Each structure stands twice: as structure tokens, then as C-alpha cells.
Amino acid sequence: MGKKIYVGNMGPKADQASLEALFSVFGTVEKAYIVTDRETGKSKGFGFVVMSTDEEAQNAIKALDGKNCGGFTVKVNEAKSK
């Protein structure tokens, strides 16, 4: 499995396809998903992306952390393990 990245402060219009497209610029996206509320199905404003290599993940983090995406300043960093 690749390197897991946390993506926070995403706008309400963000979806899995746009998240995957944003990160695919930096390499192979193995998985991308947005965490949703169980009851409403609405986005909680954060998600995760799994990149195929550590290098691709680090490049994405450096390029995207603190950047404006859809009117929101996203927080991008290495996901912490449970």
C-alpha cells in the first residue's frame, strides 16, 4: 500500500472525482475518498488520498498544502496512523 494523505478544509462541492483529479497530477492515485456524515450523507469537509509512492505523496503535500482549492484553503499532510 502507498502513502496515505489527509486533506482537510475542503469545500462542500468537493467530490471523490475532483479529489482524485487534483492529486493525479502528482502521480498514481490508488484511492481517494471524502468522509461523509452517516445520517445526512454530506461531506464532513475532509478526506484521504493514497498515492502509490512516498515521493509522489510528498510532492503533492508540498504543492497543495495551504493552497486555495475551490475558494477554500486546504490543509494537506501525511495521514496519522490510528
- Local confidence band at 1 (pLDDT 50, 70, 90 cut-offs): low
Q: Provide the number of structural domains found in the chain.
A: 1
What is the span of the domain harbouring residue 65? 3-78
Q: What's the pLDDT at 12?
A: 87
pLDDT in tens, 19-70: 999 999 999 999 999 999 999 989 999 999 999 999 999 999 999 999 998 8
C-alpha 11/C-alpha 18 separation (Å) is 11
Q: What's the pLDDT at 70?
A: 84
| Domain harbouring 9, CATH code | 3.30.70.330
Cβ contacts of residue 82 below 8 Å, gap of 6+? none
